[in-house]
Amino acid sequence: MSKINLYPLRFEPIYQYRIWGGRHLADLLSTPLPDDGPIGEAWMLSDRDDHTSLVANGSLKGQTIAQLMEQYPEQLMGKLAGHFNRFPLLLKFLDASELLSVQVHPSDEQKNYIPAGEHGKTEAWVVLKAGKKSRIYAGLKSKTTIQNLRNAIMSGTIADHLSFFTPKIGDVVFLPAGTVHALGGDVVVFEVQQNSDVTFRLYDWNHVDAKTGHPRALQVDKAFACINFLQGVIEPAVPVVEMIGSVKREHLFHCDHFCLSRISGESQFVVGAVDAPHMLVCIAGDGQLEYDDAYYTIGKGDVFLLPAVIGVCVFWPKGKVSLLEISILENN
């Protein structure tokens, strides 16, 4: 392996059963869904001990992202090599056919609530499918207190304290750790998050897991300890638009852990960066990525990791295309 040069890497999706999931990801991803049951998540780039992504293309096919991090730290991570003991982001598609639990994630500073080896969890969503009954709950309404929120959980009226909106395709929602949130009602999103699987449920809409016949466990006390009651209402982000010829680049947000942009157009454009890894997510259309005299086809639903050694390269759309581009920040 030590003699192999890295190249644009695509990974196999890891499908996850969720009681609130559906079958919409079959319309987005080319890899067939499991035969039956609700699929709520497709993990597209995951460096987790329990679910580690496998390379799906090229000479490194079958290798895990963890193996690449160990074998090629400088080629893969560039100036970020040595900053992380595993790949720092987790990329997913979510199919929330039903409502997710009302939940919250801890921040990196709330170490008493983070298991060893884990991190806090700041995340963001890009809406890919939505309807009139879709909902995104993000943040608490004003005058919500610890006591009246606890009372609302007991009485089943927690929705009265949650800020919500009806999402539309293209909306971007940034959810800092400590934000109370949920979504559902036939909504599909792409999610970028810190590499963490720590979730504390406040309320689960009286769901019963068909596999167990029981409700899922709540972690109300831990959730309350992690809620940022000063967070307030979360609304869709307002992109900063940059036009480069006929290509539109929208800077969606920049946080302490990652940056996200959306690139749309029919003419070629550059992606990637010198000495830093970037990720590409194709959310509409298709095209080819040119690197080292080779072309890599990227279609709807594909997620590619561009190792740092690649630097800047050119994407050639085939008609109209829309890509998300994600970068990692050193203080992740």
Judge whether 180 and 139 are in contact, CB under 8 Å.
Answer: yes
Helix/strand/coil for 83: coil
Backbone angles phi, psi at 165, to 5 degrees: -150, 160
Distance of CA 210 to the CA centre of its chain: 26
Closest CA to 195 of 69, 314, 47: 47
| Side-chain half-sphere CA neighbours of 220 within 13 A | 11
The two tokens of residue 236 are 């869709």
Residue labelled with tokens 């298991």? 115
Backbone angles phi, psi at 68, to 5 degrees: -65, -40
Question: Of all helices (H) and strands (E), which one includes residue 154?
Answer: helix 146-155
Known catalytic membership, residue 201 = yes
Query: Rounded distance, CA 304 to CA 237, Å?
Result: 24
DSSP type of residue 158 = G
Where do we find the tokens 């497709």?
A: 42
Q: 10, 18, 135, 201: which one is catalytic?
A: 201
For residues 194 and 121, is the Cβ–Cβ distance under 8 A? yes
Instruction: Count Cβ neighbours within 10 Å for each residue of 302-329 and write b for 16 or more, e otherwise.
Output: bbbbbbbbbbebebebeeebbbbbbbbe
8-state DSSP, 75: H
Q: Based on the number of CB atoms within 10 Å of its own CB, is 294 exposed (0-12), middle (13-18) or buried (19 or more)? A: exposed
Active site residues: 201
